[in-house]
């Protein structure tokens, strides 16, 4: 199990490189301390836009398309994988409650699709932030 990486997986590195090549700047494996002592470490974080990106492995996060039930040591793996999924849902809820956008991508998603998804979310987040900032300026000017 030591060889299983928590961060810097091949799909994650490929996505980071592609985003960086398009001019996006981000934090990697950045710990977010949310309310009620909840700590989350998204794979890629855009702090100013409050966007958290997770690149999930098909086995570890029980992909509905490629995930499979373990055939050996089920007594160990089944509860572990269930806890992973529960932890993912709890992290998503905590981030959304704190005003973050959460993007979860499966490792099998083609890189071009993943980059497009992230770029779309970032554009929407930037537009919403700009809208909110303009509303603050107009109300403070009154």
* pLDDT tens-digit map of 81-134: 999 999 999 999 999 999 999 999 999 999 999 999 999 999 999 888 777 766
- Asked, for residue 9, whether it belongs to a domain, the answer is no
Any idea what the CATH number is for the domain that residue 40 is in?
3.40.960.10
- Asked, for residue 61, whether it belongs to a domain, the answer is yes
- Asked, for residue 15, whether it belongs to a domain, the answer is no
Domain with 48, as residue range(s), is 32-136
- Asked, for residue 20, whether it belongs to a domain, the answer is no
Q: Report the number of distinct structural domains present in the chain.
A: 1
Is residue 104 packed enough to be buried (19+ CB in 10 Å), middle (13-18) or exposed (0-12)? Answer: middle
The rounded distance, in Å, linking the Cα atoms of 66 and 106 is: 10
- Asked, for residue 90, whether it belongs to a domain, the answer is yes
User: Does 1 score more than 60 pLDDT?
Assistant: no
- Asked, for residue 26, whether it belongs to a domain, the answer is no
User: Does 47 score more than 80 pLDDT?
Assistant: yes
- Asked, for residue 53, whether it belongs to a domain, the answer is yes
Report phi then psi at 63, rounded to 5. -60, 130
Report phi then psi at 101, rounded to 5. -95, 135
- Asked, for residue 42, whether it belongs to a domain, the answer is yes
User: Do 49 and 122 meet the contact criterion of CB atoms below 8 Å apart?
Assistant: yes
């Amino acid at each position: 199990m030591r060889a299983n990486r928590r961060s810097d997986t091949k799909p994650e590195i490929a996505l980071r490189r592609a985003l960086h090549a398009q001019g996006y700047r981000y934090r990697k494996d950045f710990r977010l301390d949310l309310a009620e002592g909840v700590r989350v470490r998204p794979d890629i974080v855009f702090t100013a836009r409050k966007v958290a990106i997770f690149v999930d492995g098909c086995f570890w996060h029980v992909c509905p398309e490629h995930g499979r039930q373990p055939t050996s040591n089920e007594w160990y793996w089944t509860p572990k994988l269930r806890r992973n999924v529960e932890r993912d849902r709890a992290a998503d809820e905590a981030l959304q409650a704190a005003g973050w956008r959460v993007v979860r991508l499966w490792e099998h998603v083609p890189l071009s699709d993943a980059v497009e998804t992230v770029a779309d979310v970032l554009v929407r987040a930037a537009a919403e932030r700009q809208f909110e900032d303009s509303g603050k300026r107009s109300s403070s000017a009154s």
